[in-house]
């Protein structure tokens, strides 16, 4: 039977599902979504709401996403909540999913949406135990299989150890726009967005503030970007290891020399640091959720932020002229950098939210004020 927590009832046909991790752990539950087998990096998100936004966030490319909140799917799926055109995750892991959502804007169930999108999912496992394992041992590769047929835990365990690390791929190239796109062309000032896997609410946040937005592929060179005569450039969020985005790093290095206002978000913050001559490193299990506290350096201000990243900037590696701007109150890692003289800055968190708090949305105002 298809697992549904409502009143303890079950509906539909049984589909099995197995999740195997590279460390040998095997978890078996009930399958939903697509009948398929997938591999990727298994990560967790601590958010209470916002599963459509997370599932469509390009920063999750190549990853099997585990939601720590126990009930997922209860308000269904509404395309207005999407952060890209389609699901980006490789697979989905939840404790319970709701087969009969109840919300005025819901257009389909989570099960139907993932099935149509080719994304396999598993429910009915102890996601708390899985999350604790990933926190202790670090995120790792895994294999998720869902379907009607027999499944071999031993085979999946072997396959989990052989899954290539998706961070070794150029994940940004898989999610960036293939062509230049212009939104709100009659805006008061032109802002170029280097699309490394941009969330749509970054673009919406700029448009709401009256900007014309030129969205360019991640490998666009600086000369082409400058040809649009932009007042400023945003380097967007995106998936994977920032060192794989060599073209974007080179372009930002040239833009730094040109003196344009620059704003890096998430992966964009890391690319900005690399362009400046700093270094980045991989976190043990990353920051993914809507309740990450960030302290502004030199003040007592603490902002609650939405985050989704597995790499961070080594603040000690920043060259002269640069300063750490924010740090994570939980683990002390860098959450933002800025130039001491130029209108150039980046943050590791997501000021556009979606999902999550909008406490740091004012950063778009600061950037557009600088982009005169």
Residues 6 or more apart whose Cβ sits within 8 Å of residue 233: 191, 192, 193, 194, 225, 252, 255, 260, 261, 262, 263
163/185 same-domain check? no
pTM listed for this prediction: 0.95
201/239 same-domain check? yes
133/229 same-domain check? no
Q: Which residues pair with 63 in a beta bridge?
A: 41
CA separation for the pair 11, 14 (Å, rounded):
9
Of 146, 167, 188, the position where a domain reaches its end is 167
Q: Is the pLDDT of residue 338 over 60?
A: yes
The one catalytic residue in 196, 266, 294, 354 is 266
Q: What is the mean pLDDT of the chain?
A: 95
The one catalytic residue in 53, 96, 159, 352 is 352
Q: What pLDDT is stored for residue 5 in this prediction?
A: 43
Q: Is the pLDDT of residue 260 over 70?
A: yes
Q: What is the CATH number of the domain that holds 267?
A: 3.40.50.880
CA separation for the pair 20, 334 (Å, rounded):
32
pLDDT band of residue 149 (cuts 50, 70, 90) is: confident
Of 137, 167, 197, the position where a domain reaches its end is 167
**β-bridge pairing 16-21 and 140-147:** antiparallel
- Residue 54's Cβ-count burial label (10 Å; 0-12, 13-18, 19+) is buried
Q: Which residues pair with 146 in a beta bridge?
A: 17, 36
104/219 same-domain check? no
pLDDT tens column, 189-204: 999 999 999 999 999 9
113/214 same-domain check? no
Q: Please give the biggest Cα pair distance in the chain.
A: 63
Which residue range forms the structural domain that includes residue 161?
A: 2-167
CA separation for the pair 63, 217 (Å, rounded):
22
Joined together, the tokens standing for residue 254 give 């040239």
CB contact at 8 A, 321 and 337: no
- Residue 20's Cβ-count burial label (10 Å; 0-12, 13-18, 19+) is buried
266/313 same-domain check? yes
Q: Is the pLDDT of residue 14 over 70?
A: no
Q: What pLDDT is stored for residue 150 in this prediction?
A: 85
The total number of structural domains in the chain stands at: 2
Q: Is 352 a catalytic residue?
A: yes
pLDDT tens column, 85-119: 999 999 999 999 999 999 999 999 999 999 999 99
146/177 same-domain check? no
CA separation for the pair 249, 268 (Å, rounded):
9
340/278 same-domain check? yes
CB contact at 8 A, 307 and 349: yes
Q: What is the CATH number of the domain that holds 84?
A: 3.50.30.20
The one catalytic residue in 53, 335, 350, 354 is 350
179/51 same-domain check? no
Of 86, 31, 76, nearest to 51 by C-alpha is: 76
What is the average pLDDT across 160-169? 97
Residue 39, SS3 per DSSP: strand
Alpha helices (runs of H) in the chain, residue ranges in sequence order = 51-55, 110-117, 127-137, 153-162, 171-175, 200-208, 222-226, 246-258, 267-276, 362-370
CA–CA distances in Å: residue 60 to residues 22, 165, 332: 19, 13, 23
CA separation for the pair 196, 58 (Å, rounded):
9
34/130 same-domain check? yes
Of 341, 364, 9, 321, nearest to 211 by C-alpha is: 364
pLDDT tens column, 265-287: 999 999 999 999 999 999 999 99
Q: Is the pLDDT of residue 7 over 80?
A: no
Of 167, 195, 211, the position where a domain reaches its end is 167
H/E stretch holding 41: strand 36-45
61/29 same-domain check? yes
Q: Is 350 a catalytic residue?
A: yes
Q: What pLDDT is stored for residue 328 in this prediction?
A: 98
136/185 same-domain check? no
CA–CA distances in Å: residue 264 to residues 95, 147, 196, 234: 35, 41, 11, 6
Q: Is 366 a catalytic residue?
A: no
């Amino acid at each position: 039977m298809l697992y549904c927590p409502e009143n303890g009832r079950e509906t539909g046909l049984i589909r099995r599902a197995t999740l195997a991790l590279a460390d040998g752990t095997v978890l078996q539950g009930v399958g939903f979504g697509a009948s398929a087998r997938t591999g990727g990096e298994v990560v967790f998100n601590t958010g209470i709401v916002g599963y459509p936004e997370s599932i469509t966030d390009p920063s999750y490319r190549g990853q099997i996403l585990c939601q720590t909140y126990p009930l997922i799917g209860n308000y269904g799926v509404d395309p207005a909540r999407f952060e890209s055109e389609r699901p980006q995750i490789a697979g989905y892991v939840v404790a319970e999913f709701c087969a009969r959502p109840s919300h005025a804007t819901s257009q389909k169930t989570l099960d139907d949406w993932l099935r149509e999108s080719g994304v396999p999912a598993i429910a009915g496992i102890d996601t708390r135990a899985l999350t604790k394992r990933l926190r202790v041992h670090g995120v790792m590769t895994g294999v998720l299989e869902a379907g009607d047929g027999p499944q071999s835990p031993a085979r999946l365990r072997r396959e989990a150890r052989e899954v290539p690390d998706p961070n070794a791929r150029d994940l940004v190239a898989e999610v960036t726009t293939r062509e230049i796109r212009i939104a709100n062309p009659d805006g008061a000032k032109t802002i170029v967005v280097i699309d490394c896997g941009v969330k749509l609410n970054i673009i919406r946040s700029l448009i709401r503030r009256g900007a014309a937005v030129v969205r360019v592929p991640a490998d666009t060179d600086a000369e082409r970007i400058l040809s649009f005569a932009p007042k400023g450039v945003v380097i967007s969020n995106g998936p994977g290891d920032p060192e794989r985005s060599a073209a974007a790093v080179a372009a930002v290095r040239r833009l730094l020399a040109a003196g344009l206002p620059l704003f890096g978000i998430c992966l964009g913050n890391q690319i900005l640091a690399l362009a400046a001559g700093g270094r980045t490193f991989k976190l043990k299990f990353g920051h993914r959720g809507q309740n990450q506290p960030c302290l502004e350096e030199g003040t007592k201000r603490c902002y609650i932020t939405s985050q989704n990243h597995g790499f961070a900037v080594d603040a000690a590696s920043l060259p002269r002229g640069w300063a750490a701007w924010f740090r994570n109150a939980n683990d002390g890692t860098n959450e933002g950098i800025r130039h001491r003289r130029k209108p150039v800055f980046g943050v590791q968190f997501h000021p556009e939210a979606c999902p999550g708090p909008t406490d740091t949305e004012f950063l778009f105002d600061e950037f557009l004020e600088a982009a005169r």
